[in-house]
A and B are shown apart, each in its own frame.
Chain A
Amino acid sequence: MGRSFKSIPVIAACMLTVIFAVLCLTVFAMLTLSTQKADQRLSDASAQAVKNYYAADSKAEKVLSDIRNGITDESVTEKNGVYSYACQIDDTQSLEVEISKNGDKYEILKWQAVSTTQWNADQTLNVYKGK
């Protein structure tokens, strides 16, 4: 009779310890996975941004070489020997290029990444409304 009272607390303590340990381990595993997933998203976005920029850059170089070869399409505007065009980098940016051409010589006036989305400032005020 005495022994049954000793074995029940032992079993209970062991069970509680195991449950606690499994919970802690699971929480750590979930935390680690979610931290790594967040970093993965950032890393993927960063690598994709680099690739997007160079794809747009290569496209811009192709258009420039076409201009030098005397070929221009409708995306290129020309005014007083200055050729302007843009190549899309991604949804929010484009590469704007301005070239000054004089015979065979050319000069790059602008090779600038610009934002194509409008930035709207948050103008809301957290004003106390009573209740």
Chain B
Amino acid sequence: MKATEQKHNYGTILLLLLCAIFAALILMVLLLGAKSYKTVAAMDSEAFGKRTCDQYIAAKIRHFDSSANVYTGSFSSGSPEVSTLFLAQNIEGEKYVTQIYWYDGYVYELFSAADSGLRPEDGNKIMKSNGLGFEQKDNFITIKSDNTDGSRSELSVYVRSGGGGQ
């Protein structure tokens, strides 16, 4: 009687052990699934950041490409180290400027009258970024951005207006 009872106890323990292993394996698979989703979501988020920032600036340059209205420099007032892209336009005889720059962890855009005296923090935040810089050689502008994943991407745009030939 006692031997039979012991046998049954071993059987039950074995069964419970099997169930425990089963549950552990299921948990492992679920964790793998969650990790896969996290990886894909992170990849898509990084790709969005890289793609959007540079394409946005390139599109802006193309929307202002006339009469040498596109140029780079430092922020208009008080912050010489802020590399800025200037997109100028004339509205009712007055010169207005859209400035795109990186400041304090974000890409900013500031639309104001030229020499408005506004500061970098007065602009609108466009998106998060680790850095943004502009280089100009004649009509060739290179946009250099530091992405949130630590990589650096570059996009070059040729400003067609002001060019010519014979």
Contact = CB atoms under 8 A, between A and B. Distances in A.
B51 A42 contact: yes
Question: Which secondary structure dominates chain B's binding surface?
Answer: helix
B19 A14 contact: yes
B29 A21 contact: yes
A17 B8 CA distance: 25
B3 interface: no
Given A29-B33, A110-B67, A104 B166 contact: yes
Interface in A41-56: 42-43, 46, 49-50, 53
B66 A98 contact: yes
Interface residues of B, number: 36
B91 interface: no
Contact of B66 (A14, A21, A39, A112): A112
Contacts of A49: 55
A31 B37 CA distance: 7
Contacts of B117: none
B66 A109 contact: yes
Interface of A: 3, 6, 10, 13-14, 17-18, 21, 24-25, 28-29, 31-32, 35-36, 38-39, 42-43, 46, 49-50, 53, 98, 103-115
Interface of B: 8, 12, 15-16, 19, 22-23, 26-27, 29-30, 33-34, 36-37, 40-41, 44, 47-48, 51, 55, 59, 62-67, 160-166
